[in-house]
Amino acid sequence: MYGYMCGLKTLICCGRKTDVSTISDNLPDEKQVLLVPIINPPLLVPDGITIVWLDANVNSDSTDIKSTRSMLYSIQSSVFFFDDVQNCYNALRTITNNKARIFLVVSGRLSAEILFYRSELHILDSVFIYCNKAERYIDFIQQYSPYVTGVYTSQKELQQCLKIELKHYYPGANTLNCFTQRQNAIRDLTYDAASFLWFQLLRSTLMNTQYDDDDMKQMLKYCRQYFAQDANKESIFKDIDEFERTYEPNQALLWYTRESFVYKIINSVLRMDNIDILNIFRCFISDLCRQLSVEWKKLRKKMIEEQQSPIMTVYRGCRLTDDEVEKLKHIIHGMASINGFVSTSRQRSVAEEFLRHSSGRRANVKLVLWIIKIDIRTNDITFADTTSICQNQEEEEILFNVGTAFRIDDVVLNKDTGIYYINATSTSDGSQAFSDYKKLIEQELNETDEEVIFGTLLMDMGKHIIAQHYFDRLINRVHDSKKHNLAAYHYNLGLTHSYQKDTHLAERHFQQAFELQQNSHRNWRNMVRIMNGLGHVYQDSGQLDEAMRYYKMAESICSGKNCLNDLVNAQTYIYMGEYFLIKSRYVESIQSYENAMKILKNNLPNNHQRIGIVFNEMGNVYRREGKTDKALELYEKAELIFLNILPEDHPCIAYCWSSMGILFLQMNNPDKAHQYHQRALETYRRTLPADHNNIKISVKNSACNQYHELIDNYVQVCSQV
């Protein structure tokens, strides 16, 4: 069974009449709660929403019970039933999936008893009361605030509420990718900025994707497997069969807006860290992207012909975490995109209605109303008015394409309602940002192929395993027209393994890239990069002499081309600097870094982040040599460059602070050392994956007061190309 994280609500259905005044008398005391044994096997639930219905009569054959069961199954795949509070409580306590949330459907007679356990049931988010006599339970809204969010007296009302929640809350429904203007001229991106640009490229790629019947059959095969255990399988399979018989590319929007099986699965796919599954669905997603573009052109033409105002305002109600709200507050005048297709409404009341149904029990969740202005004259912003297509026409939905960028104009909190108002404007600057980034890649890496850039961005996002699968797939499915890119595919696949410290596979793919590049004679710079990659693999595996042999081969190629001043040779000297530092040959290490610095300053602005990186590495050499004053001077130069040109949460800044933290402890200044380690740790946590080695090292070093106990093994998280 599968669930979709479309909301975090709990529903209470009232059954037999109960005198509310006597409910509290029947509650267990605290000792009983603490001693409840959990003997059930774990209740296995998927990510997202699972509906649990608790009612003493849930297993009866009455028409009302059957109707409610059928309704629940019709709107969600993962549903469980209990007729006893204790069994329900025990089962919910066994759930270990921290990405799951429960919609609890419970009779009024049992509601107070299960709510008594609310602090024990962390998976329980909010409560909606559904009963024939609302006045009996209306006080529960205040009494059990913020768990109980309302009282509903009809199945239709309950069903409508559930559908609203499921529509707005699926896994990662509001995952934000942010991009600031300060990132326009830098190659070394934050995770957020790389993700933002990745979705810009994804949209461009999808718009140009072609597919055949076999691709569509593969997608439908996956869908049948996905829903094979679904309680509503029969109905879903009928949907899939109909799709297989009748689907045409110009019907993508119709199938998406009717909330069919493809709607249920597509937005989850766009939020998965799985390029292979995204590739399976590229046929439908590309059709949807193209149809949105067609509908946008129709709408623009109609509005111009009717001399309507070119400015539209649309609204979106949602919930964001504290971190996401803070992120938006820090990028005023910058850009943000929401993963996937973004649903909005021309009617403010529709978005506000969603917020009225939202409680956000968790302290770190905020209610948000997006107010988005659209200028239909702006190119590269594609959306559709789905009113004539959508079954729910009163919503007046405007659906935005994947990767649509919004400029954040303001973020304002209404203290009376607790709602954050995000004023934004749709913008084509996202496409321009990617165009600028692509030019930078071409300048620094001599790379223009969008398929390669696509994978490079995945690595910039820290998604090395996903990038590995992506380049694997490119190699396995390479067409004749792309065979000239095979060396680049193998080189980048080698990089993904190198980042994961799998030196054996990294070496294998660098060697394959080396052989392919030798045969093609197309780009000597690529050969230099491959040799540097091989050298670094050998260096990581302790084969230092072999590493230096490749570095010298790379240097000799540049020398033979009279291009010792080329940027790619700076990479060679940086790696040589690392080699000599490992060997404790400090003079030669500094000389190598100075050679790299000379090249960088001849090719890049003096405040470029690569120059800051080399300052930082030279500081590491002087620190190891015991020349602490010189080391501090270089670290401060690096820090100044990073703070001037990089976003405040960039991992390069954290890497510099980590180095300074080690230095200050070496200088017997533990307070200042702790301060820098803490600043580094906070930044790493905001910018790197939770399991990144630098976070683990920072946690230990932050608590360290003795220099000899420090871990000096941080991963250089900034590019050195």
3 pLDDT more than 80: no
**Section 528-543 average pLDDT:** 92
* pLDDT tens-place string over residues 77-131: 788 888 998 998 999 888 887 767 888 888 878 888 878 887 787 788 777 777 8
CA distance 250 to 51: 35
**Section 568-595 average pLDDT:** 95
* pLDDT tens-place string over residues 17-64: 333 333 334 444 433 333 334 444 678 887 677 888 888 888 888 998
CA distances from 402 to 293, 343, 386, 405 (A): 11, 11, 16, 9
Lowest mean pLDDT: which of 38-42, 183-187, 612-616, 697-701? 183-187
222 shares a domain with 148: no
Output the six-digit token pair for 505. 């596979």
385's CB contacts (< 8 A; 6+ apart) are 295, 299, 346, 396, 397, 398
Q: Of the residues 408, 439, 470, which one is the last residue of a structural domain?
A: 439
Per-residue model confidence (pLDDT) at position 362: 55
478's CB contacts (< 8 A; 6+ apart) are 485, 486, 489
pTM score, whole prediction:
0.65
CA distance 492 to 239: 41
What SS3 class is residue 645?
A: helix
Using the structure block, give the residue that is written with the tokens 């590493």: 547
Query: Is 571 within the bounds of a domain?
Result: no
* pLDDT tens-place string over residues 426-471: 988 877 777 777 777 766 666 667 788 888 877 766 677 888 888 9
Per-residue model confidence (pLDDT) at position 392: 64
Q: Of the residues 439, 454, 484, which one is the last residue of a structural domain?
A: 439
195 pLDDT more than 80: no
**Section 267-296 average pLDDT:** 82
What is the number of other CB atoms lying within 10 angstroms of the CB of residue 83? 16
CA distance 481 to 487: 14
Q: Where are the alpha helices (DSSP H) in 76-119?
A: 85-93, 108-115
Per-residue model confidence (pLDDT) at position 721: 40
Query: Is 2 within the bounds of a domain?
Result: no
182 shares a domain with 140: no
Output the DSSP codes for 608-634: -HHHHHHHHHHHHHHHHHT-HHHHHHH
What is the number of other CB atoms lying within 10 angstroms of the CB of residue 307? 7
Per-residue model confidence (pLDDT) at position 259: 74
Output the six-digit token pair for 357. 């149904």
CA distances from 272 to 76, 463, 685 (A): 20, 12, 21
Phi, psi (rounded to 5 degrees) for 372:
-115, 125
Query: Is 489 within the bounds of a domain?
Result: no
Gyration radius (Cα) of the chain, Å = 29
At how many degrees (to 10) do helices 429-445 and 450-460 cross?
100
125 shares a domain with 184: no
Q: Which residue has the higher pLDDT, 187 or 322?
A: 322
Q: Which residue in 450, 683, 716 sits closest to 571, CA to CA? A: 716
Strand 405-414 relative to strand 335-338, pairing: antiparallel
Residue 279: how many CA atoms within 13 Å on its side-chain side? 11
Output the six-digit token pair for 693. 């080695």
Banded model confidence at residue 245, pLDDT cuts 50, 70, 90: very high
**Any idea what the CATH number is for the domain that residue 714 is in?**
1.25.40.10
Q: Which residue in 521, 527, 596, 535 sits closest to 557, CA to CA? A: 527
Output the six-digit token pair for 553. 């081969």
Lowest mean pLDDT: which of 136-145, 232-241, 595-604, 622-631? 136-145
Order of strands, sheet of 127-130, starting from the edge strand that comes earlier in the sequence: 11-13, 127-130, 148-152
CA distance 169 to 101: 11
Q: Which residue has the higher pLDDT, 451 or 4?
A: 451
75 pLDDT more than 60: yes
With beta carbons less than 8 A apart as the criterion, state whether 424 and 178 touch.
no
173 pLDDT more than 70: no
Per-residue model confidence (pLDDT) at position 1: 28
Query: Is 485 within the bounds of a domain?
Result: no
* In the chain, % of residues over pLDDT 70: 83
Query: Is 515 within the bounds of a domain?
Result: no
Q: Name the strand (E) or helix (H) holding 149.
A: strand 148-152
Q: Of the residues 439, 462, 494, which one is the last residue of a structural domain?
A: 439
**Any idea what the CATH number is for the domain that residue 94 is in?**
3.40.50
Banded model confidence at residue 395, pLDDT cuts 50, 70, 90: confident
CA distance 281 to 383: 20
What SS3 class is residue 319?
A: strand
Residues in the chain: 721
Per-residue model confidence (pLDDT) at position 409: 96
With beta carbons less than 8 A apart as the criterion, state whether 333 and 297 touch.
no
404 shares a domain with 334: yes
* pLDDT tens-place string over residues 129-169: 778 888 888 887 777 776 777 777 888 888 877 777 666 55
259 shares a domain with 355: yes
Q: Which residue in 76, 272, 289 sits closest to 165, CA to CA? A: 76
Per-residue model confidence (pLDDT) at position 208: 76
Per-residue model confidence (pLDDT) at position 627: 96
Q: Which residue in 367, 350, 338 sits closest to 314, CA to CA? A: 350
Q: What's the number of domains the chain is made of? A: 3
181 shares a domain with 157: no
**Section 280-290 average pLDDT:** 91
With beta carbons less than 8 A apart as the criterion, state whether 458 and 470 touch.
yes
Per-residue model confidence (pLDDT) at position 354: 79
Q: Which residue in 655, 642, 634 sits closest to 589, CA to CA? A: 634
CA 162 centroid distance within chain: 25
Query: Is 301 within the bounds of a domain?
Result: yes
Q: Where are the alpha helices (DSSP H) in 461-605?
A: 464-476, 486-499, 503-520, 524-540, 544-560, 567-582, 586-603
Output the six-digit token pair for 272. 């998965």
Q: Which residue in 380, 385, 405 sits closest to 396, CA to CA? A: 385
Per-residue model confidence (pLDDT) at position 481: 62
Strand 79-82 relative to strand 176-179, pairing: unpaired
What SS3 class is residue 321?
A: strand
What secondary structure, in 3-state letters, does 433-482 show? HHHHHHHHHHHHHCCCCHHHHHHHHHHHCCCHHHHHHHHHHHHHCCCHHH
**Section 696-702 average pLDDT:** 85
Banded model confidence at residue 720, pLDDT cuts 50, 70, 90: very low
Q: Name the strand (E) or helix (H) holding 96.
A: none
| Type of residue found at 200 | Q
| Type of residue found at 255 | W
709 pLDDT more than 50: yes
210 shares a domain with 326: yes
| Type of residue found at 295 | E
Residue 424: how many CA atoms within 13 Å on its side-chain side? 28
What SS3 class is residue 485?
A: helix
**Section 386-402 average pLDDT:** 82
402's CB contacts (< 8 A; 6+ apart) are 199, 202, 203, 206, 270, 285, 289, 340, 341
**Any idea what the CATH number is for the domain that residue 358 is in?**
3.90.176.10
359 pLDDT more than 80: no
406 pLDDT more than 50: yes
Range of the domain at 106: 11-168
253 shares a domain with 151: no
Query: Is 551 within the bounds of a domain?
Result: no
Per-residue model confidence (pLDDT) at position 172: 46
| Type of residue found at 91 | A
CA distance 382 to 360: 31
* pLDDT tens-place string over residues 307-356: 899 999 999 998 888 888 988 998 898 888 887 888 899 999 999 887 87
133 shares a domain with 218: no
Per-residue model confidence (pLDDT) at position 16: 37
With beta carbons less than 8 A apart as the criterion, state whether 717 and 657 touch.
no
Sign of the Cα torsion 159, 163, 166, 168 reads negative
190 pLDDT more than 60: no
360 shares a domain with 214: yes
189 shares a domain with 117: no
Query: Is 580 within the bounds of a domain?
Result: no
13 pLDDT more than 60: no
Burial of 706 (0-12, 13-18, 19+ CB in 10 A): exposed
Using the structure block, give the residue that is written with the tokens 């392919």: 516
Q: Which residue in 506, 504, 530 sits closest to 519, CA to CA? A: 530
Q: What is the mean pLDDT of the chain?
A: 81
CA distance 280 to 48: 22
475 pLDDT more than 70: yes
189 shares a domain with 132: no
* In the chain, % of residues over pLDDT 90: 33
Per-residue model confidence (pLDDT) at position 318: 86
With beta carbons less than 8 A apart as the criterion, state whether 576 and 550 touch.
no
626's CB contacts (< 8 A; 6+ apart) are none
